[in-house]
Amino acid sequence: MELISQHGCHGGVQRFYRHDSTAIGLPMRFSVYLPPQAQAGARVPVLFYLAGLTCTEETFMIKAGAQRFAAEYGLMLVAPDTSPRGAGLPGEADAWDFGVGAGFYVDATEAPWHKHWRMESYVADELFELVTTALPGDAARVGICGHSMGGHGALVLAQRHPQRFRSVSAFAPIAAPSRCPWGEKAFAGYLGSDRAAWAQYDASELMARQPGAPFPAGILVDQGLDDQFLQSQLHPETFAAACQAVGQPLTLRRHSGYDHGYYFITSFIADHIRHHAAQL
């Protein structure tokens, strides 16, 4: 694990790392904010943040302003890159919504993507292990959050790995990817034509099949009503209906005047930090 850079920030330290990933089979980058509470050698709760299409490990740490609140509550922040890079696959960078910068947090099963596009294993297994062993993260107190494609990832990985992620929230998630153009394109490319395989990575489908509430302390979702992708891509009402059907507490907040970008996220990131801190 190579430390690329570090910067003092709100009494803690912002770091950027590169390492050789066994899950991906390529070098990967991720960012970590260590709050002041971690400087004394204590293990601290961790919040994973999964970014959206075209983003990198830098986007959230630069734009969201989350470090101030993470320092207050003693949370470590971890943000991985959004896909493998440098695989050299034909067409990997031809589209902004598939391939590079668009890993969708799934383990691909279709060639040629199946060799490197293994973002679920990378986040939930390899990176989880790294930040709770080589870094002072407390493996028993880990939450997950994300935006757009990353909101989809957070809602899905939390349900697929409830033994690892104790709390979950999302900003403008792609909440029913099997029913929207972004999800259909990604799932067909990474997972093939069998829609039964798609359901395993669809937050609404997963929730509808839960035997009860997997997160009894509640899930927080924020959605901007001026989001240009709301009607065509996001479908939060589908996820809300699935939560209601299984008794999963959900706080779905709709905000007039807010779009899909980071001005929206920075406006409400403090609430998400508090949501996770209360559960972790």
Catalytically active residues, by annotation: 148, 227, 260
Strands 219-224 and 44-50: unpaired
Structure token digits, residue 120: 């679920």
In which element (H, E) is residue 270 found? helix 262-279
Please check whether residue 206 is in contact with residue 160, taking contact to mean a CB–CB distance below 8 angstroms. Answer: yes
Which residues have C-beta within 8 Å of that of residue 42, sequence separation ≥ 6?
136
Distance, in Å, from the CA atom of 55 to the CA atom of 80, rounded to the nearest integer, reads 10
Name the DSSP class of 3: E
Report residue 69 CA to chain centroid gap. Answer: 18
91: burial class by Cβ within 10 Å (0-12, 13-18, 19+)?
Answer: exposed
